[in-house]
Amino acid sequence: DAKTTQPPSMDCAEGRAANLPCNHSTISGNEYVYWYRQIHSQGPQYIIHGLKNNETNEMASLIITEDRKSSTLILPHATLRDTAVYYCIVRVAPDDKIIFGKGTRLHILP
Amino acid sequence: GAVVSQHPSWVICKSGTSVKIECRSLDFQATTMFWYRQFPKQSLMLMATSNEGSKATYEQGVEKDKFLINHASLTLSTLTVTSAHPEDSSFYICSAQTGATNTGELFFGEGSRLTVL
């Protein structure tokens, strides 16, 4: 079973920052937080992952709380192309399997 | 970045026939590949873990005799849906682990949509 809880859907205005929350209260010390997104009828796309520290790449930022029980994915300037289902996943990296939860369906509003 | 390719991207077959889906890692060697199934408006469900040169490990409730997985090389895994029935119609997605890096990224194929008539 997935070890994460996410809101089923969120709206964000185009050009604004999209902040997607994720709860993973049972995460273990050696489990990473991964984020993927899936645009309709395509395979999931890797976004970012982290263990303890906040991470940033060209796509997004990942903020992990100090107790690691929750995290937030930030898309700094959302565009219509960011409309997708976003999955937050915990994984014993790098070899463990990835179990998907239900994700958050992000709607970007023009 | 690493690329995972699936073939065919879509297939239509008659009930009772078998269908093979290929998953290839194009620019890296993948010791482990995963197969997922996704029904409309649902999340991805892990079916099995495929390790090169050994038998696949199936998730609970997935019939190993119906969904045959072969991982004969470091760049190719195949999923064969045997004696397909309409309830097997689904979106099948594979993923591959880049063993050469320490980033822990898992790359996904574009998916293969199976329709069984």
Give residue-wise pLDDT tens across range A22-35: 999 999 888 889 99
User: What band does B99 get if pLDDT is binned at 50, 70 and 90?
Assistant: low
The number of helices, as runs of H, and strands, as runs of E, in chain A is: 0, 9
Interchain CB contact of B4 with A (< 8 Å): yes
Distances in Å between the alpha carbon of A89 and those of A78, A97, B45, B46? 21, 10, 13, 13
Strand locations in chain B, DSSP E? 4-7, 10-13, 19-25, 32-38, 45-51, 57-58, 67-73, 76-81, 90-97, 106-108, 112-116
User: What band does B69 get if pLDDT is binned at 50, 70 and 90?
Assistant: very high
| The one-letter amino acid at A32 | Y
CB B8 within 8 A of CB B92: no
Asked if the Cβ–Cβ distance from B97 to A94 is below 8 Å, we say yes
Question: Which of B44, B93, B105 is nearest residue A46 as measured by Cβ atoms?
Answer: B105
Q: Which chain B residues are Cβ-neighbours of A94 within 8 angstroms?
A: 97, 102-104
Question: Which of A41, A46, A101 is nearest residue B106 as measured by Cβ atoms?
Answer: A46
Q: To the nearest whole angstrom, how far is the Cα of A97 from the nearest Cα of chain B?
A: 8
Task: Give the best residue of A34, A100, A102, A105 to mutate against chain B (max B CB count within 10 A).
Answer: A100
Could you read off the pLDDT of B13-66 as tens digits, one per residue? 999 999 999 999 998 888 889 999 999 989 999 999 988 888 899 999 999 999
List of chain A residues with pLDDT < 70? 1, 92-95
Q: To the nearest whole angstrom, how far is the Cα of A87 from the nearest Cα of chain B?
A: 9
Closest CA to A78 of A91, A93, A60, A95: A60
